[in-house]
Amino acid sequence: MSEPQGIRAGLTDSTAIVGIGVTEFAKHGDIKDRSEFALCCEAITQAADDAGIDVSEIDGFCSYAAERHEPVLIQQTLGIPELRFSNMVWGAGGGGCSGAVMNAALAVHAGICRNVVVYRSLCQGQYERYGQYRARPTGGAYMAPFGLMTPAQMVALTFRRHMHRYGTPAEALGHVAVTFREHAQRNPAALQYNKPLTLAEHAGARRIADPFGLYDCCLETDGAGALIVTSREHARDLKQRPVRILAAAQASGPGWGLGPTGSHNMPVDDYHTTNSRALGKALFGMAGISPSDLDCAQIYDAFSGLAIMALEDFGVCEPGEAARFIMDGNLSWERKGRLPTNTAGGLLSEGYLQGLNLVFEGVRQMRGTSTAQVDGAETCLVTSGGALAHKSALILAN
Query: Where does 250-377 have alpha helices with state H?
Result: 277-287, 304-313, 322-327, 346-349, 356-367
Element (DSSP H or E) covering residue 61: strand 60-64
Measuring CA to CA, which residue among 269, 198, 227 is closest to residue 366? Answer: 227
Beta bridge partners of residue 196, listed in sequence order: none
Main-chain phi, psi angles of 230, to 5 degrees: -145, -175
What CA–CA distance (Å, rounded) separates 183 from 189?
11
Chain centre distance of CA 129: 18
- Tell me the angle at which helices 304-313 and 151-166 cross, rounded to the nearest 10 degrees: 50
Of residues 64, 130, 271, 352, which has the active-site annotation? 352
Q: Is 215 a catalytic residue?
A: no
Q: Is 300 a catalytic residue?
A: yes
What CA–CA distance (Å, rounded) separates 97 from 122?
13
Of residues 64, 119, 215, 300, which has the active-site annotation? 300
Q: Assess whether the previous peptide bond of 211 is cis (omega < 30° from 0).
A: yes
Amino acid making up residue 344: A
What CA–CA distance (Å, rounded) separates 398 from 393?
17
Do residues 81 and 37 make contact, with C-beta atoms less than 8 angstroms apart?
no
DSSP tag of 353 = S
Element (DSSP H or E) covering residue 380: strand 379-384
Do residues 283 and 56 make contact, with C-beta atoms less than 8 angstroms apart?
no
How many CB atoms are located within 10 Å of the residue 357 CB? 28
Measuring CA to CA, which residue among 364, 360, 338, 330 is closest to residue 347? Answer: 360
Main-chain phi, psi angles of 112, to 5 degrees: -75, -40
Q: Beta strands of 174-282 (E only): which ranges?
A: 207-209, 212-213, 221-231, 243-251
Active site residues: 300, 352
